[in-house]
Each structure stands twice: as C-alpha cells, then as structure tokens.
Amino acid sequence: MGGRATDAKIWVMSMGQFMGLFDHEYLGIRTTCKMHHLQYAEYSCVENGKTTHTAMFVDLLGYYE
C-alpha cells in the first residue's frame, strides 16, 4: 500500500510474515525445532524516487501468545 502523508511525503508499506525453522535460541526464546511465523510491517518514505526513511516493526510480543 502507499499514499501521501499530511506533510506531502509519499509512504509505502508492506506487511506479512517471516517463516522459518526455529532451531537456534533467539533473544532468550528457546529453540523448538518447529516452523514458526513472525509478523512484520515495514514503512518506507520515498522522496525523488529514493527511499529516505524506513521503519520496520516485528511482532515479537505476539510470538509469545
């Protein structure tokens, strides 16, 4: 998705899930050797055809549910 913000900058975003085999400990989360999905959202500001700002949010808290 994308659109123009109130400051006239163009922002685009994508969201989805990273998928992978959890076979090593990560951030204190124990290994399970099972497939897991980790939700993410990424926002990028595009100015003059170039990405100038990027923010990425990864739902580590939702992983524990």
CA atoms within 13 A on the CB side of 19: 3
Burial 5-39 (b: 16+ CB within 10 A, else e): eeeeeebeeeeeeeeeebeeeeeeeeeeeeeeebe
Which pLDDT value is given to residue 32?
82
At residue 1, the pLDDT reads 83
State how far the Cα of 48 lies from the Cα of 37, in Å rounded to an integer: 35
pLDDT tens digits for 3-62?
A: 888 888 899 999 999 888 878 887 787 888 888 888 999 999 999 889 999 999 998 777
Instruction: Give this prediction's pTM.
Output: 0.68
